[in-house]
Amino acid sequence: MEHMEIIHYGTEAFNSFENLSPIKKEEARKLCIDFCNKNDIKGGNSPLFFIIDSFYVFSPYNNPKIPEVSLTGIWVNAKTGEVKYIKNHQKIRPESQFGWRSRTGLQ
């Protein structure tokens, strides 16, 4: 992945994206829980941190002291409802209070 569009939860950009998407965050949460239950995966109650490239990202791996969030977790496509488990060792940190960047420099 050379370029990722990352939209942080709770921002105006997140709300705008969600308003234009067929799958809203509440439905994405339900899809995440169903996927975890059907596949015996822990993480159904993971927090929603971002939208990355049209996927809602629910990640149980975060360190609020640094802060950083792992990209490993349940990804739900906001356009199609496709759900997948992504195991990715990358972590992203806030570039500032206004946005996030990947820890490895990918944006």
The pLDDT tens digits for 88-104 are 878 877 665 555 554 43
- Per the structure block, which two tokens stand in for 8? 């942080």
Tell the residue number behind the tokens 């995440």, with chain if given. Answer: 32
User: For the segment 12-57, what is each residue's pLDDT rounded down to a tens digit?
Assistant: 999 999 999 999 999 999 999 999 999 998 777 888 888 999 999 9
| Res 68: pLDDT | 77
* Helix (H), strand (E) at residue 6: strand 6-8
Sequence spans of domains, the chain: 6-102
Tokens of 67: 């802060």
The predicted pLDDT at position 102 comes to 43
Residue with token string 């349940």: 74
